[in-house]
Structure 1
Amino acid sequence: MEKVMRLATEKGVVIFTKSSCCLCYAVNVLFQEVGVYPVVHEIDKDPDCKEMEKAIKRLGCNAPVPAVFIGGRLVGSTNEVMSLHLSGSLVPLLRPYRM
């Protein structure tokens, strides 16, 4: 849990992904299209992958990836991010982190 939280708070927008996950890719592209370039941690390339997946789930993310953190807070996975985007709430959350 400690490692996930440390990494999740190192920058304004952080996404935990797996290199083969198409939903992770889609979320990353969505952020880039609104002018935000998140820090991406591919947990499948980390030796602590299994522990990180468990920690992300314990934090309340229904799927271990993508796990999106904005301002150090867990926003959620694909469903939560897309719901925020469709409701018009995502871009205001991201505004402080736009390039």
Structure 2
Amino acid sequence: MSAAKTKAQTIIDENGVVVFSKSYCPYCRASKSLLTDLGAKYYTLELDQADDGSAIQDALEEISGQRTVPNIYIKQKHIGGNSDLQARKSELPSLLKDAGAL
């Protein structure tokens, strides 16, 4: 397994909520804003600011089949992107609570 894939998988495994993001991405900002508004604790990795961000993005595609950002995981389960997160808004409080993020 590549170092980037190991790093990505470790981040997913060790955090209840993870947002793989890019600092300039409006969809990423919308996802982080929603989670913040709900009071969630979450781990963010800004791929455009990480030295290995491109490799991690490639690894995420291997892990989840999704290359785009935001790439969101709750309780080690791939949620999808911003539209997927927004579509699950009503169930997020219980999902986040289960993940220990509230």
TM-score, normalised on structure 2?
A: 0.83
User: Alpha-carbon deviation of 1:9?
Assistant: 2.2
Partner of 1:37: 41
Structure 1 runs of 4+ with >4 Å offset: none
Q: 2:73 aligns with which of 43, 60, 69?
A: 69
Kindly indicate whether the alpha-carbon contact (under 8 Å) linking 1:63 and 1:77 is maintained by their aligned counterparts in 2.
no
* Aligned residue pairs, count: 96
Partner of 1:97: 101
**Is there any run of 5+ residues in structure 1 with no aligned partner, and where?**
none
Q: Among the aligned pairs, what percent are the same residue?
A: 25
User: Alpha-carbon deviation of 1:64?
Assistant: 2.5
User: Alpha-carbon deviation of 1:34?
Assistant: 1.0
User: Alpha-carbon deviation of 1:62?
Assistant: 3.4
Letter of the 1:3 counterpart: K
Q: CA RMSD in A?
A: 1.5
CA distance in 2, matches of 1:45, 1:21: 12
1:3-38 deviations in whole A, cap 9, x for unaligned?
111112222111111111111111011011111031
Letter of the 1:45 counterpart: Q
Partner of 2:11: 7
